Structure 1
Amino acid sequence: MNIIETQNLTKAYKNFTAVEDINLHIKKNSIYGFLGPNGAGKSTTIRMLLGLTAPTKGSFTIKGMNISKNRVKILREIGSLIEAPAFYGNLTGKENLDIIRRILSLPKNSVDDVLELVGLTEFKDRIAKKYSLGMKQRLGLASALIGRPKIIILDEPTNGLDPVGIHEIRKLIRSLPGKFNCTVLVSSHMLSEIELIADDIGILNHGLLLFEGSMNNLKQNAIQKGYNTGNLEEMFISMINEDNKRRKEK
């Protein structure tokens, strides 16, 4: 069963099409890796799914519902981290999360629960402006996970983290569907990162979906096209480069 589906989803501006006719199929209780170089249209797609910008054409459903008719109901079931997380610098990490808790009418223990989940318990009483970049990223992740939503959308969640932090957040993301019976959409520009956590992937370039399927499907696709499948990052780059070359030849 697909929990998120898009139908020819498109976002165009005056002289630029950021996302063009993409059809995503994101399965319930899975991790979907959304891949593409910077500027590929990943963040624009995510913003449409969250109702932050309207599609130029096409549509999408979340849990079978159209966001234009069920916006509040849908968004109550989604936790998200997009772009750089923004917080009140003079409030502590715990106080920032408590604001979100109150908006969502969640129990008080949900703040301590999510702080422990992302490894910030010992820093909960430090004011947010004194957090490191990695700690701010963890706090952003905590704001997405508070209340244990059924759909979690994460845009480049390991930005600013050191290798140990990346490993810990990767392990956490991988555990989420099993722990909380949820679906995770995670975007990245690194195939090697997504390879370790995702069940299915979609590869976007210049707003077009080049591939959707499992990692095994991707490898088979790469073999057919003669790409080097020994190094997945090189395979990903080859796919993007071929698409870029095709565009220039048009």
Structure 2
Amino acid sequence: MNNYIIKTEQLIKKYKSFVAVNDVSLHIRKGSIYGFLGPNGAGKSTTMKMLLGLTAPTKGSFEIDGKQFPNDRLSILKEVGSFIESPSFYANLTGRENLDIIRRILGLPQSAVEDALELVGLSEFGSRLAKKYSLGMKQRLGLAGALLGRPPILILDEPTNGLDPSGIHEIRNLIKSLPNLYDCTVLISSHMLSEIELMADDIGILNHGRLLFEGSLDSLRQNAIQSGFAADNLEDMFLTMVDKDNAGRKQRAIL
């Protein structure tokens, strides 16, 4: 019996003639950190939006914690904290006030806001207006919103964008600690394998909407060795995999 808390079956998303996601089947284990990797425009954000019910699949299906979309959409959303693309806030409210709006909607105690601010290192800036936050601080505030109430599932779309190296290190360590601290599962996207491999248990590689690889980080290392790459240089393996897929697409287009 598998232990997948998120499972998709041949997800397809089309926008008229453009296919953003093409036949994607993901298998995300409970309690794991799943790195969703791909170049910009690969379809990562679109896939995550489908999982959150923000856009409907053209074809295919998925379930989260045994609940089926779309019938159990509201039940699914109660279990998921999310951070998709650049988070938006009320500019003339403080960071604390922005989180308090989410807290009230979720019916959480006031302490949940302070807990989330502390987790992402924004406690001393909670009273600052959101419009005065730097890009990195806005990213932290978005992550704090996703962490409100400590949901069992987190869907995070490139949460370290805009952070300086120190901030990236802090947020990476926080994300790595979450499955053990709060018994949660994390789906996190990035276009940088070097970042993902420092925190993920399993990896899915997407390019032009198609899943090129899915498996454990160790199995990716084995694939790298078998393909003549160094096990400690997965970035080259990833780039070659994407380049090979792109070349194949161009060849098929010519034919």
TM-score range, shorter chain: over 0.9
Within a 5 Å distance, the mapping from 1:19-98 to structure 2 comes to 19-98=21-100
- Deviation of 1:223 after TM superposition, in Å, equals 2.6
CA distance in structure 2 between the partners assigned to 1:206 and 1:227 by the alignment: 24
Partners of 1:176 and 1:21 in 2: how far apart? Answer: 30
Q: What's the TM-score, normalizing by structure 1?
A: 0.98
Superposed counterparts of 1:129-148, under 5 Å: 129-148=131-150
Give the conservation status (yes or no) of the 8 Å contact 2:37–2:189.
yes
* Residues matched between the structures, number: 250
- 1:10-63, Cα deviation, whole Å (9 max, x unpaired): 111222111111110000011000000000000010000000011011100001
1:183 to 2:177 alignment? no
CA distance in 2, matches of 1:34, 1:230: 19
Q: What secondary structure does 2:246 align onto?
A: helix
Alignment of 1:103-114 (within 5 A): 103-114=105-116
- CA positional deviation for 1:228: 4.7
Which of the numbers 187, 197, 210 marks the counterpart of 1:195? Answer: 197
User: 2:127 is matched with which residue: 125, 128, 133?
Assistant: 125
Aligned match of 2:16: 14
Q: 2: CA distance between counterparts of 1:14 and 1:86?
A: 28
2:245 and 2:229 map into 1 onto residues whose CA distance is: 13
Give a deviation string over 1:167-217, Cα, whole Å, max 9, x none. 000000000000110000000000000000000000000011000011111
Deviation by residue 1:42-98 (Cα, 9 ceiling, x = unmatched): 001000000001101110000111121111111011000001110001111100000
Cα distance in 2, alignment partners of residues 59 and 246 from structure 1: 28
Corresponding residue of 2:158: 156
Work out the percentage of aligned pairs sharing the same amino acid: 70
Contact between 2:38 and 2:44, CA under 8 Å: does it hold in 1? Answer: yes
Shift of 1:219: 1.6
Runs of 4+ residues deviating >2 angstroms: 222-230
Deviation at 1:222, TM superposition (A): 2.3
Letter in 2 for 1:168: E
Secondary structure, aligned partner of 2:70? helix
> 2:225 is matched with which residue?
223
Determine which of 230, 244, 247 is the counterpart of 1:245: 247
Q: Which amino acid aligns with 1:232?
A: L
Matched AA of 2:102: I
Instruction: Check conservation: 2:224, 2:234, Cα contact below 8 A.
Output: no
Q: Which amino acid aligns with 1:100?
A: I
d(CA) in 1 for partners of 2:186, 2:155: 6
Letter in 1 for 2:149: G
* CA distance, structure 1, for counterparts of residue 231 and residue 117 of structure 2: 39
Displacement of 1:164 after TM fit?
Answer: 0.2
Q: Distance in 2 between matches of 1:232 and 1:238?
A: 10
C-alpha distance in 2 between matches for 1:230 and 1:174? 20
Measure, in 2, the Cα distance between the counterparts of 1:7 and 1:241. Answer: 26
TM-score calculated relative to the size of structure 2: 0.96
* C-alpha contact (below 8 Å) 1:110/1:146 kept by paired residues: yes
For the aligned residue pairs, the C-alpha RMSD in angstroms reads 0.9
In structure 1, distance between residues paired with 2:249 and 2:158: 26
**Structure 1 runs not aligned, ≥5 long:** none
Equivalent residue, structure 2, for 1:168: 170
Please report how far the alpha carbon of residue 226 of structure 1 lies from its aligned counterpart in structure 2 after TM superposition: 3.2
